Amino acid sequence: MKTPVSLLVLIIGLLVPTFGESQAAEIYTAGTHKSIGNYFDLNHKPVGEREFRLFFRFNFGGSSIRNPESVERMIPGIRQINLYYTDFPKGMDFSVLNTARIEALLEAYPALDSLDVDWVFYKQTDCNNQEDAINHYHGFEVIMDFDTDINLSEIAIDPGFDDFILNKVFERNDWTDMLVVTDLTGSMDPYIAQLFLWLKLNTTDKRVKHFIFFNDGDSELDKYKVIGQTGGIYSIRSGNYEKVELAAIRCMKSGYGGDVPENDVEALIEGIDECPNCKEVILIADNLSEVRDLELVKKLNRPVRVILCGANNGYVNPEYLNLARDTKGSVHLIEEDLHNLMEMNEGETLELFGKTYQIVNNRFVLIKST
């Protein structure tokens, strides 16, 4: 049952403190106030090489941060904080609610108290009823600039780690003018180190033409990730190692993946749009992650070469076999390249690491292991 608007206004008044001369109230009064149709009217992609953004969500009418764990990614280099809220009920004074939201952020990250930050408050007016308003974005967008001494090619790798797949695959395959689409979620650290070490030792503008890095949603709450619109995708042309590394760091700082599935296909689609002249499309994927958006594969019009990281445990994720098969591409393991997957017929089997994968209803499925 929908909450009547009059009751909603009463609830808001009960849930948040009285608007007083608090620090949050001063911030709200002194900030810049703007009106827009909705959140998506603005371009939210980072504009600076050293810029990244975090998002903190609220429920419609609520003042409790729903993803407080993202505070751990805050750094002192905060330049601007935007708050998005809806103008519903129309004409209502939202000072009390928005001040409570500011107080929640100050409580979660007390260091804000000593930082010189520009605050901008965006009232979204494109909502004519409660349902419209609920479906808008409610929350903060924190824009940060960072300086870092991180060297991605020197990420510490466990001494027992032996899956040095990237060097072997790139050496075996004479790919040029590559679009390299890379999963940069948390479990990929040892492979990120391999990629950037390889880049340091190779002339990136001859073999790699464009990079796409993705983190599955820039710390968005899992239940709000929309197929094809999950985001957390960072694009950079090759040729300058430092700029490529900064784009990767920005991607890593802005999100960590959250749940297991990743937005691989969305990232591939954006990469092909950004670099239609790239000859080879390479996906550096996490074998232990599912593909969130495999249903979008029909939008891919190029063969995808999947370098499958983490398959040295003897399991090959069938979803990546299907992604390669559907695009007439290939899958690349540490010691083996799997071509012509699209030519396999119904019922045929593939043996990998003692496990049997069979085509059933035109899809690879794991049927047995030894």
pLDDT of amino acid 225: 77
**Per residue in 267-296, pLDDT tens?**
999 999 999 999 999 999 999 899 999 999
In terms of domains, do 249 and 338 share one?
yes
Write the CB contacts of 138 (distance below 8 Å, at least 6 apart in sequence): 57, 58, 59, 60, 62, 84, 85, 86
Instruction: Please give the distance of CA 218 from its chain centroid, rounded to a whole number.
Output: 4
Tell me what the mean pLDDT of segment 4-10 comes to.
Answer: 45
In terms of domains, do 38 and 161 share one?
no
Within 157-240, residue ranges assigned H as helices are 165-172, 189-201, 204-207
Both structure tokens of 206? 């001859």
For the ranges 76-80, 260-264, 292-296, 304-308, which has the lowest average pLDDT?
260-264
Contact by Cβ (8 Å): 284, 195: yes
Task: Check pLDDT > 80 for residue 48.
Answer: no
* Size of the chain in residues: 370
In terms of domains, do 28 and 84 share one?
yes
Cα–Cα separations (whole angstroms), residue 358 to 3, 26, 324, 345, 367: 52, 65, 15, 9, 7
pLDDT of amino acid 19: 37
pLDDT category, 260, cuts 50, 70, 90? low
220 vs 137: CA distance, rounded Å: 11
Q: What percent of the chain has pLDDT over 90?
A: 53
pLDDT of amino acid 11: 47
In terms of domains, do 172 and 298 share one?
yes
In terms of domains, do 21 and 158 share one?
no
Tell me what the mean pLDDT of segment 47-58 comes to.
Answer: 76
Tell me what the mean pLDDT of segment 230-235 comes to.
Answer: 85
In terms of domains, do 198 and 113 share one?
no
Which position has the token pair 């920005």?
Answer: 250
In terms of domains, do 182 and 322 share one?
yes
Tell me what the mean pLDDT of segment 121-150 comes to.
Answer: 86
Last residue of a domain, one of 87, 119, 145: 145
pLDDT of amino acid 203: 56
Last residue of a domain, one of 110, 145, 180: 145
pLDDT of amino acid 98: 96
269 vs 329: CA distance, rounded Å: 15
Write the CB contacts of 88 (distance below 8 Å, at least 6 apart in sequence): 127, 128, 129, 130, 132, 133
In terms of domains, do 77 and 120 share one?
yes
313 vs 311: CA distance, rounded Å: 5
Q: Say which amino acid occupies 102.
A: I
CATH number at residue 44: 3.30.1330
Task: Check pLDDT > 80 for residue 15.
Answer: no
Last residue of a domain, one of 123, 145, 167: 145
Tell me what the mean pLDDT of segment 118-147 comes to.
Answer: 90
Which position has the token pair 């993705």?
Answer: 214
**Per residue in 155-179, pLDDT tens?**
767 767 888 999 999 999 999 999 9
Give the chain's domain count.
2
Burial class (CB in 10 A: 0-12, 13-18, 19+), 132: middle
pLDDT category, 41, cuts 50, 70, 90? confident
**Per residue in 299-347, pLDDT tens?**
999 999 999 999 977 899 999 999 999 999 999 999 999 999 999 999 9
**Per residue in 87-123, pLDDT tens?**
999 989 999 999 999 999 999 999 888 889 999 999 9
For the ranges 64-73, 75-84, 122-131, 198-207, which has the lowest average pLDDT?
198-207
344 vs 358: CA distance, rounded Å: 10
In terms of domains, do 139 and 218 share one?
no
Tell me what the mean pLDDT of segment 233-250 comes to.
Answer: 86
DSSP state of 110: G
Structural domain for 166, as ranges = 152-369
pLDDT category, 9, cuts 50, 70, 90? very low
Tell me what the mean pLDDT of segment 183-193 comes to.
Answer: 84
CATH number at residue 275: 3.40.50
Write the CB contacts of 350 (distance below 8 Å, at least 6 apart in sequence): 321, 338, 341, 344, 356, 357, 358, 364
Which is more confident, 152 or 329?
Answer: 329
pLDDT of amino acid 241: 85
Which is more confident, 77 or 147?
Answer: 77
In terms of domains, do 71 and 91 share one?
yes
Tell me what the mean pLDDT of segment 24-50 comes to.
Answer: 84
In terms of domains, do 141 and 164 share one?
no
DSSP state of 2: P
In terms of domains, do 71 and 205 share one?
no
